[in-house]
Structure 1
Amino acid sequence: MRHSVITIVGILVLSLVLGACASQTASEPAQPADAAAEAQEPAAAVEEPAVVEEQVSGPLTVLCGPQEDWCQAMTAAFQDQTGIETSYVRLSSGEAVARMEAEADAPTFDVWWGGPSDGQVEAFTKGLIEPYIPANAALIPENLKDEASGWTGIYVGALGFCSNQDVLDELGVEAPTSWDDLLNPKLQGNIAIADSRTSGTAYTSLYTLVLLRGEDGAFDYLKQLDSNIFQYTKSGSAPGTMAASGEVAVAIIFSHDCVKFREETGANLVVSFPAEGTGYEIGAEALIKNAPNPAAAKVWMDWALTPEAQAVAATVKSYQVPTNPETIVPAEAISLSQVNLVDYDSIAAGEAKSALIERYAEEVREGAAAPES
């Protein structure tokens, strides 16, 4: 299922922020003005499917992709509401797929919740995902789920630059507003980004550059950028903490994480976006094939799409845009309509991931081991 960025902005931003349920077809993407007009039409009442109430017991183990505190809050809320004993392990996307491959015959996890959907697509292509669409997926816009590969979107967020303004001032550099700005010699050793082999965030940046520059052009750019990189981290959000502490001037991360770190630390962090375009993630959930407790996993997946569950994010300062139109969008959330988003096809990104990561390891990291922290 492939959709244009106009559909993302038209349906997700206008429908969620304005609180209406505009509908459109994939074959005829709505223009922003058309989507706005549709959003003003009275929406037909949609009866929200209830979370399945049945005798399901634990334990449930969640492979969790977002921030640690969000994983904690979600599993605690689910256990309190359902009585199902629930635990989680937090892994970045690359780690998640590697762990699932290693455990394919006897999985540890039941459900993969969070992280860019291209990770779930890659796992599906490797036979690690059991296609399952929960009942509450009916509430989620069509362009934010894929029945064929079995994932359903839970949030959306744009990739951006997270800069420490104090460090930039010391260097005499403006906050970057293009990908080429990151090649400024004054930023040598002052940029952090995760490793694309371990991080879904970093892979989003890699695939975004492929879309903007072509594959060869993207790798030429990344090899130039390497001289300005202070550290490649394992986790996609870790560079943001480095920017907050003043260890680096610029972090390449999802913009909502920068907002979170600014609120939590009080650091003078600024969010900016490349004018030529940036990618975005559809954070998703999927059922793991041969899960030890698929019944509990399915209850989790249905519950996680409810407004109540999606509202947990804001309580821990995770300000992604939720996918359920009935969920209140946090005031702190980045307005995606103000960002030039590329036509990021998460299905194509997931299918291309293994080959691109192999090339990244050889040409950009030059055989260096993947980071462990």
Structure 2
Amino acid sequence: MTKIKPFAMGLAAIALGSAALAETELTVYTAVEAEDLARYAETFNQDHPDIKINWVRDSTGVVTAKLLAEKNNPQADVIWGLAATSLLVLKSEDMLEPYTPAGLDALDPKFRDSDTPPSWVGMDAWVAAICYNTVEGDKLGLTAPTSWQDLTKPEYKGHVVMPNPASSGTGFLDVSSWLQLFGEEQGWAYMDALHENIGAYTHSGSKPCKMAAAGETVIGVSFAFRGAKSKAEGAPIEIIIPEEGIGWDMESTAIVAGTDNLEAAQTLVDWSITPKAMEMYNVGYAVVAIPGIAKPVEHFPPNIPEKMIDNDFEWAANNRDAILAEWTKRYDTKSEPKG
């Protein structure tokens, strides 16, 4: 029998130890705001330093289209921070791995897939809002809107910017919520009138508010988190919650079917619904998936929860392609160039 020298045994132990400490890398597709990704990864790595996250980030519509295009050759392991309406589309294509994460029972039932085991779980809600630049509005002698219908007033012609729903999840929740609020016929009639006042449709949900904050437009149809962040940075904007009610969607998490890193992916999904994760989301979002955790967020209007519509996510997901095709046919001529 060949004896192993102590030096060789030491090297073998080091090699085994290194293998045990080696990182698992996860490719994570997301539509989370770019400036928050480092914070998300850092907070997760406090508990799981052995899993490295490689982010692939873009707007909701772009990420959704990328995932659908990769259906037969998936490149992502996990989706962390994509609209629930998009995940419902992916679920219908059998692209998600059902999984019951630890702590599931603590979630508000609205913040999870209804199947058992669920194919996705929610993180937080992002809600529609109007960002109104008070300085630019005063210069032009305008009055701040209080409703969605106000945005069709002739005084706002050329002064409204909103996201393109084909590329932006915020844009899609606006359009799908208007169709639910006003009915389909009146919803399209509303968007026809709104189109007359639109200066441009952006491919980012946060950009209209950033433009309003910078004085590049008076009114940006965006979401409350972006408005609160811009106001905290000193922008002269009001964050307006229209009186008819506001559309909303959930940032959600799911495992991509066929991942080679299933155990690490499950670890990330488990962590994504922990109280610690919810506290992290609450830095920018006033509504999170575990009831009782969220604290008020600075500059968020106080009436958000009661203004959130009873959103039919299944209807929005099932009709997504038809809604986007109709919207594109009617209004895409005012969209900013892509890229």
- 3-state SS of paired residue (1:113): strand
Give the aligned partner of residue 235 of structure 1: 204
Distance in 2 between residues matched to 1:87 and 1:297, nearest whole Å: 12
Distance 1:192 1:72, change over 3 A: same
Residue 247 (structure 1) aligned with residue 213 (structure 2): no
Residue 135 (structure 1) aligned with residue 107 (structure 2): no
* Counterpart among 227, 232, 257 of residue 263 in structure 1: 232
Give the aligned partner of residue 178 of structure 1: 147
Distance 1:337 1:268, change over 3 A: closer
Distance in 2 between residues matched to 1:150 and 1:338, nearest whole Å: 26
- 3-state SS of paired residue (2:211): helix
Residue 126 (structure 1) aligned with residue 93 (structure 2): yes
Distance 1:227 1:335, change over 3 A: same
Residue 159 (structure 1) aligned with residue 125 (structure 2): no
Give the aligned partner of residue 98 of structure 1: 65
Letter in 2 for 1:173: L
> How far does the alpha carbon of each residue in 1:259-295 deviate from its partner, in whole angstroms, 9 at most, with x for none?
011113x111101122122211222111122224222
Contact 1:239 1:253 in 2 (8 A): yes
> How far does the alpha carbon of each residue in 1:5-50 deviate from its partner, in whole angstroms, 9 at most, with x for none?
xxxxxxxxxxxxxxxxxxxxxxxxxxxxxxxxxxxxxxxxxxxxxx
Q: For structure 1, which segment, 196-205 or 248-257, has the greater mean C-alpha deviation from structure 2 after superposition?
A: 248-257
Q: For structure 1, which segment, 333-342 or 83-92, has the greater mean C-alpha deviation from structure 2 after superposition?
A: 333-342
Residue 196 (structure 1) aligned with residue 202 (structure 2): no
Alpha-carbon offset, residue 115 of structure 1: 3.3
Q: For structure 1, which segment, 147-156 or 247-256, has the greater mean C-alpha deviation from structure 2 after superposition?
A: 147-156
Alpha-carbon offset, residue 64 of structure 1: 1.4
In the alignment, structure 1 segments of 5+ residues that lack a partner are 1-53
Distance in 1 between residues matched to 2:310 and 2:337, nearest whole Å: 30
Distance in 1 between residues matched to 2:305 and 2:119, nearest whole Å: 30
Contact 2:239 2:301 in 1 (8 A): no
Map of 1:328-367 to 2, 5 A cutoff? 328-332=294-298, 333-336=300-303, 339-365=306-332
* Counterpart among 261, 281, 303 of residue 293 in structure 1: 261
Alpha-carbon offset, residue 336 of structure 1: 4.8
Contact 2:241 2:301 in 1 (8 A): no
- 3-state SS of paired residue (2:212): helix
Alpha-carbon offset, residue 105 of structure 1: 2.1
Residue 65 (structure 1) aligned with residue 34 (structure 2): no
Alpha-carbon offset, residue 305 of structure 1: 1.0
- 3-state SS of paired residue (2:196): helix
* Counterpart among 267, 275, 298 of residue 243 in structure 2: 275
Distance in 1 between residues matched to 2:165 and 2:193, nearest whole Å: 16
Letter in 2 for 1:150: S
Alpha-carbon offset, residue 326 of structure 1: 5.4
- 3-state SS of paired residue (1:129): coil
Alpha-carbon offset, residue 94 of structure 1: 1.0
- 3-state SS of paired residue (1:59): strand
> How far does the alpha carbon of each residue in 1:55-77 deviate from its partner, in whole angstroms, 9 at most, with x for none?
99511111112211222211222
Residue 313 (structure 1) aligned with residue 278 (structure 2): no
Letter in 2 for 1:351: N
Letter in 2 for 1:129: L
Alpha-carbon offset, residue 161 of structure 1: 0.8
Distance in 2 between residues matched to 1:168 and 1:237, nearest whole Å: 20
Alpha-carbon offset, residue 334 of structure 1: 4.3
The count of aligned residue pairs is 316
Distance 1:150 1:313, change over 3 A: same
Contact 2:200 2:335 in 1 (8 A): no
Distance 1:55 1:355, change over 3 A: farther
- 3-state SS of paired residue (1:158): strand
Give the aligned partner of residue 327 of structure 1: 293
- 3-state SS of paired residue (1:135): coil
- 3-state SS of paired residue (1:365): helix
Distance in 2 between residues matched to 1:271 and 1:104, nearest whole Å: 39
TM-score by length of 1: 0.79
In the alignment, structure 2 segments of 5+ residues that lack a partner are 1-19
> How far does the alpha carbon of each residue in 1:131-156 deviate from its partner, in whole angstroms, 9 at most, with x for none?
32312222101122114362211112
Q: For structure 1, which segment, 168-177 or 240-249, has the greater mean C-alpha deviation from structure 2 after superposition?
A: 168-177
Letter in 1 for 2:165: S
TM-score by length of 2: 0.86
Letter in 1 for 2:85: D
Contact 1:92 1:234 in 2 (8 A): yes
Letter in 2 for 1:119: S
Alpha-carbon offset, residue 200 of structure 1: 0.7
Alpha-carbon offset, residue 369 of structure 1: 7.3
Residue 115 (structure 1) aligned with residue 73 (structure 2): no
Distance 1:56 1:294, change over 3 A: farther
